[in-house]
Amino acid sequence: MMRRTKVLGIAIACSVGLVLAGCGGETGEALPGDGKTVTSTAARTTAGAASTTAGSAAPGESGAESGSAAPDPVDPPEPGDKPGEGAPATGPAAEPAPEPAEPTPAPGGAGLWDPCALPESALSAAGLDASTEQNITGSWRPDWLTCQWQSADGAFDMTVVSTDRSLDEVRQDPEFKEYTSVYVDGRDAVKYRSIQDVNMSTCAVSVVVPDGSVMFSLRLHGGKPEVGQSCGQTAVVSEALAAYLP
């Protein structure tokens, strides 16, 4: 009887231990000898903290924590690179050496006879005032040598032009009219008038020379001249000066 009572006491004690063990499992403590982790409440707290850590990167570490690769470091510029391509400017670029200036051609055609070289004695004999000489090269064409004088009595002016064109080319010039073949000091020549001359106050004659021809162009001053007066005066002056042509 005594032994049965002792056994019954041991059974009641074991039952009480089992009840206490079940209550401890609800509080999240592991059973003795059990290898399992803590309660679900603790697991949820731990998982939430881990999620927060994974989703929130520390300042300056966003690329590493979020999985984005950090940018590659920029290589320093190589010496000799052009400005704008990574090379630092080393100072103002050297300016290229200026090209040598082309020589300015002398006015007038090379090799042409210069009418301004006519001697004063010849000019005076032709009725011209040598002191009124004007070198107006380029007034007709850039490569033609041109000189002009006033007559001694102020009745006309005479322009002498040294050109490189033949008498045939003179006849084809549309700026003139009334072409007539003549002779001046034994040389072939052609007489003509400007198409703009409406009152017969001008006349010209071109005389052949080795390098082309020389034009004597006369213009009367004053009112309307008599018929043939301008060309008659041109013939006198050109004849007096033709002896000095080349």
pLDDT in the model for residue 4: 44
Q: Give me the mean pLDDT over the 39-60 stretch.
A: 36
Lowest mean pLDDT of 61-70, 110-119, 133-142, 187-196, name the range.
Answer: 61-70
Listed in sequence order, the DSSP H helices in the chain are: 2-26, 40-55, 62-66, 120-125, 167-171, 229-241
The closest alpha carbon to 133, from 117, 153, 111, belongs to 117
Residue 167's CB is within 10 A of a number of other CB atoms, namely 17
Q: Are 230 and 166 in contact (CB under 8 A)?
A: no
5 or 155, which is more confident:
155
pLDDT in the model for residue 73: 54
CATH number assigned to the domain covering 115-244: 3.40.1000
Q: Give me the mean pLDDT over the 93-98 stretch.
A: 59
Give the neighbor-by-neighbor strand order of the sheet with 156-163.
128-135, 145-151, 156-163, 212-220, 202-209, 187-194, 176-184
Per-residue pLDDT band at 36 (split at 50, 70, 90): very low
Amino acid in the structure at residue 130: A
39 or 208, which is more confident:
208
- Enumerate the domain spans of the chain: 115-244
Q: Are 224 and 200 in contact (CB under 8 A)?
A: yes
